[in-house]
Amino acid sequence: MSTFKFICPHCSYSQQLPAKADGLQGKCPSCAEDVVVRSNQVPNRPSEVVAYWFVLSSGLDAETPERLTEPQIVELINAGRIGPGADVLKPGSRQNEWVKLKDTHLNAYVEQVRERKQLAMEERKSDVVTKREAKKTAKSELQARNEQEKTEFRENRAREAEQKRRDAEENRQQQAVLKAQNEAQAPNNKKRSATIGIVLIIVVVVVALAAVDFATDGEYTAGMNPFGPKVTRVTVQAGDAVITDREDTGLSHLKLTCNNRLVINCDWKRNSYNDFGYDIYEPSVSRDYNRLAVMMLARGVIANYLKGKYD
């Protein structure tokens, strides 16, 4: 249900009434004077309520005059709900003596609000300018850093190219010197080559007589020397194993090339007094690895070999 605010024209008493009461006659509940209820009623004698202001354009209730105290007026000004052009009745004014708020002593508050708004606007503008300048400065610094990095990159490339050229020239000169030295020593080299050839022939004959063929890693190759150690090559889960077994004549050897390219070398020896049936020495590895895992892997291969699993 729509309502409106009734204001008594005699005593300024106010009350919310339903819209259907507009135009009815009656007595004011406060002063008992005869009144005609109007939705846009203005008090006839605001001078009777000198402690109050009346605001016609406060925005609180359309165009209905609003009875307010001075602190309430100041609060509306600070909230920006009424401005210098608002129509007001000052305390002590008579009917229809409406004036603009800017023409009252409260205009000072209006100016303060205006100044605050102006200051806030200037601060916002200043912030925008500051942020824009900071962004521009950051962009300039970034461009400068990029240019510096490009310059340093070009200089580094030029230095590398110059160093390569110098290295190539130095290498060419060294090759020329070596070639000249070789040409000067050619007669002596021929004599030395003949001597080396004779020595090599003698070594080959001695090796053939010994009937021993060593593998590239210094181990005997199975099947080439019946009087040498037993060499067993087997592929296990971890990789390829070469087991050189000298039985009771000396230290045996295990070389295990793992699938991860780790190479394990360790010496071992049969020992019937040991619970395992052999003694194993500290393995050597081609790179850093877990020592416990290396020892367990080597022991497993040797144990399986002694149990005959690789025969």
The phi, psi pair for 37, rounded to 5°, reads: -70, 125
DSSP alpha helix (H) spans, the chain: 70-78, 107-184, 186-210, 291-306
Which two tokens mark 146? Answer: 């990029």
| Residue 18: predicted pLDDT | 87
pLDDT at 199: 67
pLDDT at residue 252 above 80? yes
The tokens 């210098």 sit on which residue? 84
Residue 266 or residue 20, greater confidence:
266
pLDDT of residue 254: 94
Confidence of residue 301 (pLDDT cuts 50, 70, 90): very high
* Strands 25-27 and 53-55, sheet pairing: unpaired
Bridge partner list, 235: 240
Look at residue 225 in the predicted model and tell me its pLDDT. Answer: 46
**Residue 60: its pLDDT value, please?**
44
Most trustworthy range by pLDDT among 8-22, 41-55, 203-217, 282-296: 282-296
CA-based R_g, the chain, Å: 56
- Looking at mean pLDDT, say which of 29-38, 121-130, 181-190 comes out highest: 121-130
- Cα-based distances in Å from 61 to 7, 55, 143, 273: 12, 10, 60, 113
pLDDT reading at 45 higher than 50: no
Per-residue pLDDT tens over the stretch 193-208: 667 777 677 655 444 4
Return the higher-pLDDT residue of 95 and 150: 150
Comparing 36-50, 99-113, 151-165, 200-214, which segment has the lowest mean pLDDT?
Answer: 200-214
Q: What is the pLDDT of residue 160?
A: 92
Residue keyed to tokens 């022991």: 299
Q: What is the pLDDT of residue 96?
A: 64
Q: What is the pLDDT of residue 63?
A: 45
Assess whether pLDDT exceeds 80 at residue 128.
yes
Percent with pLDDT over 90 in the chain? 24
pLDDT in tens, 78-117: 887 878 888 887 777 765 677 888 888 888 888 888 788 8
Q: Give phi and psi for 36, each to the nearest 5.
A: -105, 120
* pLDDT tens-digit map of 48-75: 443 467 776 544 444 446 667 788 888 8
According to the model, what pLDDT value does residue 95 have?
59
Question: pLDDT averaged over the chain?
Answer: 78
Query: How distant, in Å, are the alpha carbons of 12, 86, 226, 237 from that of 100?
Result: 21, 6, 129, 102
Confidence grade of residue 221 (pLDDT, cut at 50, 70, 90): very low
- Residue 263 pLDDT level (bands cut at 50, 70, 90): very high
Question: What does the pLDDT read at residue 250?
Answer: 79
Query: Higher model confidence: residue 21 or residue 256?
Result: 256
